[in-house]
Structure 1
């Protein structure tokens, strides 16, 4: 699994952080997504897919 985040599309909702806190964080100054792990372990794949699905800005792209 590979993850890409488009910080220009991110609206700072934080849904990704709630779904997968080991993979996503937010910048303190504006809440924009920060990718902590571009290739997370298999145990986190479901959470990452959920984060991508619930992202209101569609700023997260996941490829297998």
Structure 2
């Protein structure tokens, strides 16, 4: 989600995991830019953790 227009230049992002389950990870990311009040964008994510391969060598 874009919240405000960033200026040309670097944008810093900070991500965090909100929930780490057995098969799903839920997280979000906030993007900030120096000199701009508040975040310029936000992203949310859901990642499905694939099951372990049965033929993979054991570590």
Q: Same fold (TM over 0.5)?
A: no
Whichever of the two has the greater Rg, that structure is 2
TM-score normalised to structure 1 length: 0.19
Higher relative contact order (CA 8 A, sep 6+): 1
Give the structure with the higher percent strand.
2
TM-score normalised to structure 2 length: 0.20
Give the structure with the higher percent helix.
1
